[in-house]
Amino acid sequence: MKKDEKKCPICNGEKEQGKVTFTVDLGTNLIVIRETPATVCSLCGEEWISDETAENIEAVVREAKMKNRMIEVVNFSLESVA
């Protein structure tokens, strides 16, 4: 990250690499993805995910929709969506 990219655009706090819980509410289904890699502001808690992570989340959501479970809870893993 460039120096100016390390500052949160919302509160000017410091952005740090971390992990978050990402939730997708599809109305009839709820998908919870734990341990999702993200950049997180240390001050306000705002979260950002990379394009690659978003693509992997989309794959997890597609797979969960096919299972047709009301609630699906998974840990983020690149291997599980390969």
The pLDDT mean for the chain works out to 88
**pLDDT 10s digits, 17-74:** 999 999 999 998 899 999 999 999 999 999 999 999 999 999 988 988 888 888 989 8
What domains appear along the chain, each with residue ranges and CATH number?
Answer: 3-77 (3.10.20.860)
This prediction's pTM: 0.77
List all residues 6 or more positions away from 76 whose beta carbon is below 8 Å from its beta carbon. 19, 22, 33, 34, 35, 36, 37, 53, 56, 57, 60
